[in-house]
Amino acid sequence: MPRKVILFIIGFVLTVFGITLTLQQWDAIVLVFKAVIGPLTAVAGLVILFASTLKN
């Protein structure tokens, strides 16, 4: 079997497996996203405030 066909099959199987695992744990993923988005937004705000104080 050609190498590209083997890589395609492995990639397809891994993609389906990953999507399946993600959908099984969707509630936990939503909680993690909600827990991460707040601090990331705060850090982004701090970076913007810091950048606004820099002189050109």
**Residue 22 in contact with residue 29, Cβ under 8 Å?**
yes
Q: How many domains does the chain have?
A: 1
pLDDT (0 to 100) of residue 56: 67
Domain of residue 30: give its range: 3-53
Tens digits of pLDDT across the chain (56 residues): 899 999 999 999 999 999 999 999 999 989 998 999 999 999 999 999 999 998 86
- Please tell me whether the overall predicted TM-score, pTM, comes out greater than 0.85 for this model: no
| Angle made by CA atoms 48, 52, 53, in degrees to the nearest 5 | 125
pLDDT (0 to 100) of residue 55: 80
50's tokens: 């810091």
pLDDT (0 to 100) of residue 1: 80
Between CA 43 and CA 9 the distance in angstroms is 41
Q: Looking at residue 1, what DSSP letter applies?
A: -
